[in-house]
Amino acid sequence: MRAALVFGLLLTTISPAAANMGLGFGWGPTKQCFDPNSPPITIADVPQRTATLRFKLTDLDAADFNHGGGDVNFQGQETLPYGAFTYKGPCPPDPSQPHHYRLSLQALDASGALLGTARAERNFP
């Protein structure tokens, strides 16, 4: 009975909107090697009550390098322009050998509680 109660509580904390949140990006005007400006980003189906969008960039070919990310106040926008937040942009050591990058997104409410996640991946350059 206790396990059923815990399972039921876990199910009620998963929002259907969170499962459908979308994220896309293109490098756009991103400059080679540590451009501090985030790339142009598109988002869709952001959960209700989202106050902050938190982004993080990961180089899947050098996961120990911290590219960081940034927070953006969410006010219903579906696109974020180049430079919406600052971070340490992509910089593969050999430009002829692209690296694979993952941009992760967390939708947070005003208290910082996680409402949903999304991610997108692209090679650079």
- CA geometry: angle 29, 108, 89, nearest 5 deg: 25
Q: Rounded to an integer, what distance in angstroms lies between the CA atom of residue 101 and that of residue 58?
A: 6
pLDDT single digits (tens) 8-67:
333 334 444 445 799 999 999 999 899 999 999 999 999 999 999 999 999 999 989 999
Q: What's the pLDDT score for residue 80?
A: 98
Q: What's the pLDDT score for residue 93?
A: 85
- Give alpha helix (H) positions in 13-72: 16-19
Look up the CATH superfamily of 17-124: PEBP-like (3.90.280.10)
- The residue ranges of every structural domain in the chain are 17-124
11: three-class secondary structure by DSSP: helix
Using 50, 70 and 90 to split pLDDT, how confident is the model at 94?
confident
Average pLDDT of the chain is 87
